C-alpha cells in the first residue's frame, strides 16, 4: 500500500465516521420520543406528573370543549398567540408536566416557530443565548426558561431559578418507568397524597385511604361513547392491597349515604356522580379502581358546560 493510497484511505474513513456521527445526531434529534423516555428528563422527586395527548383529544372532539373556557380570553395569552403564531388548541400535540416543590417543568411536543418565540422573549425584556431563552413571567418569582430538545419538542420551566429548564437537558440513568397507555394520566407521589393539600373537594376522604400507598397513577381514556378513569395503586404487600380496596369501597358507600341524607342524588355531570360510581379490587400487591366518566362531566371540568 503506497503512502498516497493510505492517505486517501484515511480521508475516506474519517469522512465516513463524520457522516455516521452527523447522521446519528440528526436521527437522535428527529426521533419520536415516548412518554416513558421523556419522563427520564423531568425532575420527579415529590412531583405530580401529568401527561396529556392533545392530538388524540383533538381527534376525539374533546379539546374543542376548551373553546368555551377562559384560557383563550386571557389578554396576555392572546398577545402571545399573535406574536408567536402558536395556539395550543391547534399546535400542541402532547405535554408531559412535572409539578414539583421547585417549580413547574414541561416537555411540550408540537409545532413551534422558534424565531418568533425568540423575538417574543426579547420583546418582553428577556434574553436568548443561542437556543436557550429566559424571561420573567407575571411575577418576579415566576421565571420562565425554555430551549428546543428537538425541532418539535420544547423543554420549558417556570421556577424562581432563571435557568431551571437546564435540568431537562440531562437524561436520568435509571430505566424507563412503566406509564399508562392513555391520552391523559397522572402520577401522584406519596408526599402529596399524605398532605391532602390542593386536592379537589370530595376527594380528601379517598386520599386518607391512600396514605400507605407506594405509588398512585390515574389514567383517563375513551370507552365507547364516554370516558373512564382507572386507578392503579402499588402497595407494600398483598395484604395492604386487600385492605386498601376494602377501605376505598367503604368510603364510596359512605359518600353515597352522605349525599342521600342531604336528600340529593349523585349527578353524573359533577364529581358527586363520578366519585360515587367507583369500584375497586385488589390484584396481588396492587389495587385497581374504575370510574365511568360521562361526557357532561368532561364538559363541566373543562369549562364548556352550561
CATH number, domain of 151, equals 3.40.1000
In this structure, is the dihedral angle defined by the CA atoms of residues 232, 235, 238 and 241, taken in order, positive or negative?
negative
Q: Is there a single domain that holds both residue 251 and residue 138?
A: no
User: How many H-runs (helices) and E-runs (strands) does the chain carry?
Assistant: 11, 12
CB contact at 8 A, 94 and 53: yes
Q: Is there a single domain that holds both residue 134 and residue 232?
A: no
Which of 169, 199, 216 is the last residue in one of the domains? 169
Q: Is there a single domain that holds both residue 164 and residue 231?
A: no
The grid coordinates of residue 96 equal 408531559
Task: Note if the pTM is more than 0.85.
Answer: no
| Separation CA 11–CA 207 (nearest Å) | 66
> How do residues 51-68 score in pLDDT, each as one tens digit?
999 988 888 777 766 555
Which of 137, 169, 201 is the last residue in one of the domains? 169
Closest by Cα among 116, 292, 141, 146 to 221 = 292
**Domain housing 90:** 34-169
The grid coordinates of residue 129 equal 443565548
Which of 118, 135, 169 is the last residue in one of the domains? 169
Answer yes or no: is 290 within a domain: yes
Answer yes or no: is 275 within a domain: yes
Q: Which residues contact 305 (CB under 8 A, 6 or more apart)?
A: 269, 296, 299
Average pLDDT over residues 83-100: 88
The grid coordinates of residue 196 equal 391532602
Q: Give the neighbor-by-neighbor strand order of the sheet with 127-129.
A: 127-129, 132-136, 143-150, 153-159, 103-110, 92-100, 48-52, 184-188, 215-223, 226-234, 286-293, 279-283
Number of domains in the chain: 2
> How do residues 169-186 score in pLDDT, each as one tens digit?
999 888 888 889 999 999
Answer yes or no: is 19 within a domain: no
Answer yes or no: is 1 within a domain: no
Q: Is there a single domain that holds both residue 225 and residue 296?
A: yes
> Given this model, what pLDDT does residue 18 score?
38
> How do residues 110-161 score in pLDDT, each as one tens digit?
999 999 999 999 998 899 998 999 998 877 788 999 999 999 999 999 999 9
Q: Is there a single domain that holds both residue 194 and residue 93?
A: no
Q: Is there a single domain that holds both residue 165 and residue 266?
A: no
Q: Is there a single domain that holds both residue 39 and residue 144?
A: yes
Amino acid at each position: 500500500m503506497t503512502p498516497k493510497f493510505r492517505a486517501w484511505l484515511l480521508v475516506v474513513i474519517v469522512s465516513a465516521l463524520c457522516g455516521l456521527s452527523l447522521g446519528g445526531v440528526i436521527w437522535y434529534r428527529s426521533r419520536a420520543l415516548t412518554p416513558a423516555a421523556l419522563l427520564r428528563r423531568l425532575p420527579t422527586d415529590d412531583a405530580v406528573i401529568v401527561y396529556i395527548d392533545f392530538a388524540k383529544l383533538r381527534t376525539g372532539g374533546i379539546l374543542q370543549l376548551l373553546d368555551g373556557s377562559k384560557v383563550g380570553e386571557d389578554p396576555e395569552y392572546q398577545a402571545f398567540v399573535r406574536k408567536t403564531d402558536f395556539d395550543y388548541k391547534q399546535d400542541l400535540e402532547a405535554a408531559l408536566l412535572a409539578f414539583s416543590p421547585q417549580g413547574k417543568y414541561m416537555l411540550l411536543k408540537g409545532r413551534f416557530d422558534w424565531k418568533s418565540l425568540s423575538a417574543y422573549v426579547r420583546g418582553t425584556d428577556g434574553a436568548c443565548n443561542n437556543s436557550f431563552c429566559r424571561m420573567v413571567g407575571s411575577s418576579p418569582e415566576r421565571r420562565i426558561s425554555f430551549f428546543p430538545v428537538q425541532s418539535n419538542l420544547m423543554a420549558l420551566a417556570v421556577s424562581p431559578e432563571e435557568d431551571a429548564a437546564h435540568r431537562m437537558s440531562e437524561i436520568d440513568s435509571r430505566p424507563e418507568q412503566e406509564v399508562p397507555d392513555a391520552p391523559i394520566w397522572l402520577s401522584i407521589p406519596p408526599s402529596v397524597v399524605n398532605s391532602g393539600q390542593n386536592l379537589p373537594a370530595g376527594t380528601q376522604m379517598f386520599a386518607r385511604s391512600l396514605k400507605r400507598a407506594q405509588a398512585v397513577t390515574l389514567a383517563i381514556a375513551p370507552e365507547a361513547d364516554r370516558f373512564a378513569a382507572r386507578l392503579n395503586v402499588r402497595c407494600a404487600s398483598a395484604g395492604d392491597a386487600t385492605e386498601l380496596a376494602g377501605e376505598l369501597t367503604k368510603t364510596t358507600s359512605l359518600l353515597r349515604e352522605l349525599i342521600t341524607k342531604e336528600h340529593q342524588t349523585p349527578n353524573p355531570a359533577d364529581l358527586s356522580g363520578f366519585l360515587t360510581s367507583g369500584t375497586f379490587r385488589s390484584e396481588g400487591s396492587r389495587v385497581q379502581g374504575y370510574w365511568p366518566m360521562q361526557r357532561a362531566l368532561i364538559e363541566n371540568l373543562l369549562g364548556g358546560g352550561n
